[in-house]
Structure formats: C-alpha cells, structure tokens
Amino acid sequence: ERLRQLDDIFGNQVKTLMSNPYNIAEAVRESDLVIGAVLIPGAKAPKLVTEEMIQSMEQGSVVVDIAIDQGGIFETTDRITT
C-alpha cells in the first residue's frame, strides 16, 4: 500500500520496488548513485548491498552510506571517513 502511495505522489520521478535481494542487486547494477539510508532504531543497519553488487556497478559510480553511524548498509563499509 505504501509503495502505491509513493508511486501516486511521485509518478515516474521515483522508482519503487519491494525490498528483496534480487531487486536490490538489479537496482544497484543499474544505478550510478546508491544512497544507503536505512534506520532501524536501536539496532545496527542491515548489510543490504554486497561487495558483488557494488562490483556490478559501472566504473565511476558512487555509493553514499547515510546509515554509517549504525554500521552502514554496504558490505564493504569498514570505517568512517569524512
């Protein structure tokens, strides 16, 4: 229901998908920018994006992990940099 509401609000400007490993892998592969912004209050962020997914991106693509304070969603995240 929530995805349908977002589709109605944003139309073709935003692509919404159910969160599952296949959809995440396809979305990452097709993207030139991936922003990780998952917050589960009181818990570490789940590792949703694997190293293999990141390697499938075109050279020059960018990943930004907003969830870094909770451990980050990228499997390759190992430290905080500024």
Domain ranges of the chain: 2-70
Whether pLDDT at 79 is above 70: no
Whether pLDDT at 58 is above 60: yes
β partners of residue 74 = 49
Name the percent of the chain lying above pLDDT 90: 78
3-state class (DSSP) for residue 33:
strand
Whether pLDDT at 20 is above 80: yes
Q: Distance between CA atoms of 78 and 27, rounded to whole angstroms?
A: 23
Provide the b/e sequence for 20-30 (b: ≥16 CB within 10 Å). Answer: eeeebbeebee
Q: What is the CATH number of domain 2-70?
A: 3.40.50.720
